[in-house]
């Protein structure tokens, strides 16, 4: 025989679990779009990720400019400079991925206030963007280093 309290508990648990399940995947369309993009540097301005905070949009634009400039520099850069940047970017990528994981875990807990959640979503989005740009640049540097050492 079912205990009415057990049934009520199931409904409460279901009600509290449903919004939390898959929260990171369902954050917003931008995160899903970011996963599908190979090179963020190729995006048109209308396709840029949307950020809640203006400071993050400014940060994104500065980051975009920095990576675009590094790609241009890469074409004429000496091998020693490329190797040095490669080491820096590889180390930075570890930190980016660590931060991204932290934000994903915080969002999954479901204990954040709406303003904290909004901030974490922006930061997670920023981490994903930064990771994609860093990975793209690292891949280009690997090709340059490999071809320069032959």
Inter-axis angle of helices 114-148 and 29-36, nearest 10: 10
Calculate the alpha carbon distances from 10 to 7, 18, 20, 31, 79 in Å: 5, 12, 15, 32, 62
pLDDT band at 144 (very low <50, low <70, confident <90, very high): very high
Residue whose C-alpha is closest to residue 95's, from 127, 56, 48, 60: 127
> C-alpha angle with apex 26: 21 to 31, nearest 5 degrees?
140
Q: How far apart are CA 126 and CA 133, in angstroms?
A: 11
Contact 35, 135 (CB under 8 A): no
pLDDT at 12: 39
- Token duo for residue 88: 């820096």
Q: What is the pLDDT of residues 93-123, one digit of tens each?
A: 999 999 999 999 999 988 999 989 989 999 9
Question: DSSP string spanning 39-78?
Answer: -GGG--GGGSPP-SSHHHHHHHHHHHHHHHHHHHHHTT--
Residue whose C-alpha is closest to residue 89's, from 141, 37, 148, 144: 141
pLDDT at 35: 79
Q: What is the pLDDT of residues 69-87, one digit of tens each?
A: 999 999 999 999 999 999 9
pLDDT at 150: 54
Q: What is the pLDDT of residues 8-49, one digit of tens each?
A: 444 434 333 434 344 444 456 777 777 788 888 888 888 888
pLDDT at 126: 93
- Token duo for residue 147: 């071809």
């Amino acid at each position: 025989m079912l205990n009415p309290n057990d049934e009520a508990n199931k409904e409460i648990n279901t009600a509290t679990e449903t919004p939390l399940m898959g929260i990171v995947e369902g954050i917003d369309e931008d995160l899903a779009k970011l996963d599908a993009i190979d090179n963020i540097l190729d995006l048109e301005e209308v396709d840029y990720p949307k950020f809640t905070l203006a400071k993050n949009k400014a940060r994104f634009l500065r980051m975009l400019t920095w990576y675009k400039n590094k790609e241009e520099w890469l074409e004429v850069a000496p091998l020693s400079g490329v190797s040095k940047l490669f080491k820096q970017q590889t180390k930075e990528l570890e930190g980016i991925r660590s931060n991204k994981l932290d934000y994903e875990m915080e969002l999954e807990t479901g204990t954040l206030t709406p303003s904290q959640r909004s901030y974490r979503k922006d930061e997670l989005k920023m981490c994903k963007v930064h990771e994609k740009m860093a990975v793209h640049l690292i891949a280009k540097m690997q090709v340059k280093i490999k071809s320069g050492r032959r």
